[in-house]
Homo-oligomer: A and B are copies of this chain.
Amino acid sequence: MEDEISSFFESSPPLKNMKEITEKLNQFIELNSSSQGGRRIACVTSGGTTVPLEQRCVRYIDNFSSGNRGAASTENFVKAGYAVIFLYRRGTCQPYCRSLPDDPFLECFEFPDNTNIQVHKSHLEAVEMAVMDQQAAVAEGRLLKLPFSTIYEYLQMLRLIATALKDVGPCSMFYLAAAVSDFYVPWESMTEHKIESGSGPLDIRLAQVPKMLSILRSNWAPKAFCISFKLETDSKILIEKATKALRKYKVHAVVANELSTRKEEVVVVSSSGNVVVRRECDKPESIVEDNLIRLIVDRHSTYIKESHN
């Protein structure tokens, strides 16, 4: 397993801006570790990773993920006093932007007198909240956003973050909501140029991406509180799969989602039993992440207390 992991990293195209990311990370962690006696720091991963099929990539395999879960969870962690490293897929949903229209940039504005641009009244409150909350979180140094696209970028960045958070110990958390590819084409066996069409069907053999969760738990950040996610489309196998993942990767909880009901409820699977978390149906504004993050933060508090004993 460790061999597979090191060969994955050795064959990955290296991160282009590694130095810049490392500097930002260290600064962020230092600031938050020394603020108010040490803030808790969560690394929230969000959105899907891509798997290139060609080195000069035209085609790639992607995982469907809007990034809504990660963005909404980030807002809730910040509200609960955490500093958040938001490791997100480029172009997916951003924190504080959930209540904006689909194409916010072009739909939010009007020109009442044909000269001065203004935010349309019907969107004004949503826009003000989005911009103000986001800018406040960034200004307080409590939100660091780091974008990725490929599985190679994602796993290298996750390793960087985990290593940088090592000294934060039990006060750090990994909340791994990103939809990470299970299969990939190893870089060295990948064709350089665009695969040619026109000659019948195409057969692709995909290798399994080595599971990094074990090594994150055992080596990279063994003292961090760690939450992973399991998404299935078949509700019959969901809980069984989540339970297996809990045991195999020794994470502190697995959040089990079913694709069609994931905005209504999730099940938090942990060694202390399974808890169904729902959004509050009588409040239209309520989202499942409000209750989910409350539960996770409670569990994290217990974990920190127990770690100090």
* Residues in chain A within 8 A of chain B (CB atoms): 50, 53-54, 56-64, 91, 94, 96-97, 100, 103-106, 109, 111, 117, 119, 124, 127-128, 130-132, 134-135, 179, 181-183, 192-195, 197-198, 200-208, 231-234, 259-260
Residues of B contacting A181 in the complex (Cβ-Cβ under 8 angstroms): 59
CB distance from A300 to the nearest CB of B (A): 28
Which chain B residue lies CB-closest to A54? B233
Copies of this chain in its oligomeric complex = 2
Residues of B contacting A106 in the complex (Cβ-Cβ under 8 angstroms): 94, 96-97, 130-131, 134-135
> Within the assembled complex, what's the spacing in Å between the Cα atoms of A130 and B183?
40
Known: A106-B130, A194-B234, A233-B194. A62 touches B64 (CB 8 A): no
CB distance from A245 to the nearest CB of B (A): 10
> Within the assembled complex, what's the spacing in Å between the Cα atoms of A183 and B59?
10
CB distance from A200 to the nearest CB of B (A): 7
Residues of B contacting A54 in the complex (Cβ-Cβ under 8 angstroms): 233
Q: What would 10 A/B residue contacts be, using CB atoms closer than 8 Å? A: A54-B233, A57-B64, A58-B179, A59-B61, A96-B106, A104-B105, A105-B131, A193-B232, A200-B208, A203-B203
CB distance from A90 to the nearest CB of B (A): 9
Whether A56 lies near B233 (C-beta < 8 A) is: yes
> Within the assembled complex, what's the spacing in Å between the Cα atoms of A205 and B206?
11
Known: A194-B234, A204-B203, A233-B193. A97 touches B91 (CB 8 A): no
Known: A194-B232, A201-B206, A203-B205. A59 touches B53 (CB 8 A): no
CB distance from A31 to the nearest CB of B (A): 21
Residues of B contacting A205 in the complex (Cβ-Cβ under 8 angstroms): 201-203
Which chain B residue lies CB-closest to A127? B117
- A59 touches which one: B63, B100, B208 (CB < 8 A)? B63
CB distance from A22 to the nearest CB of B (A): 21
Whether A91 lies near B94 (C-beta < 8 A) is: no
Which chain B residue lies CB-closest to A259? B56
> Within the assembled complex, what's the spacing in Å between the Cα atoms of A231 and B207?
28
Residues of B contacting A234 in the complex (Cβ-Cβ under 8 angstroms): 193-194
> Within the assembled complex, what's the spacing in Å between the Cα atoms of A10 and B62?
26
Known: A105-B105, A193-B232, A202-B183. A62 touches B63 (CB 8 A): no
Residues of B contacting A204 in the complex (Cβ-Cβ under 8 angstroms): 203-204, 206
Which chain B residue lies CB-closest to A231? B58
- A62 touches which one: B60, B182, B194 (CB < 8 A)? B60
Given contacts A60-B62, A94-B105, 8 further A-B contacts (CB under 8 A): A59-B63, A61-B62, A105-B131, A117-B127, A117-B131, A182-B195, A194-B231, A203-B204
